[in-house]
Amino acid sequence: DGGITQSPKYLFRKEGQNVTLSCEQNLNHDAMYWYRQDPGQGLRLIYYSQIVNDFQKGDIAEGYSVSREKKESFPLTVTSAQKNPTAFYLCASRRSTDSYNEQFFGPGTRLTVL
């Protein structure tokens, strides 16, 4: 079955540590996205990538970094510079030929910084 996997589902880290969240898709989609979800605030875009080896900042990129070395993978690193990292993180992908821009989402990773 095609889809998007995110791991781990729950992640706990100490303050000041960097942490990397995994996102893998086997949908053969070119574009991938990272969102952050906080209660009552909807989803906010962190980074996105249209093709391999290229990515752009979204609306709240400060304190985060990404890489896109493979089409299937788009890992997100939450650095110690992110002031309030505790949140639910969602990865999504899109077929670049889809002019209506429907995105497919993974199950999410809940990060808690202690």
Partner 1 sequence: GNSVTQMEGPVTLSEEAFLTINCTYTATGYPSLFWYVQYPGEGLQLLLKATKADDKGSNKGFEATYRKETTSFHLEKGSVQVSDSAVYFCALSAPNAGGTSYGKLTFGQGTILTVHP
In sequence order, which residues have a C-beta less than 8 Å from that of residue 6 and are 6 or more positions away?
21, 22, 23, 24, 89, 90, 91, 106, 107, 108, 109
Q: Is 102 in the site for partner 1 (CB under 8 A)?
A: yes
Of residues 41, 53, 83, 84, which one binds partner 1 by CB under 8 A?
A: 41
Stretch that binds partner 1, among 13-21, 61-69, 79-87, 96-104 (CB under 8 A): 96-104
Give dist(CA 48, CA 55) in Å, integer. Answer: 6
Question: How are beta strands 76-78 and 87-94 bridged, if at all?
Answer: unpaired
Q: Is 8 in the site for partner 1 (CB under 8 A)?
A: no
- The residues binding partner 1 (CB under 8 A) are 4, 6, 31, 33, 40-45, 48, 50, 56, 58, 90, 92, 94, 96, 98, 100-108
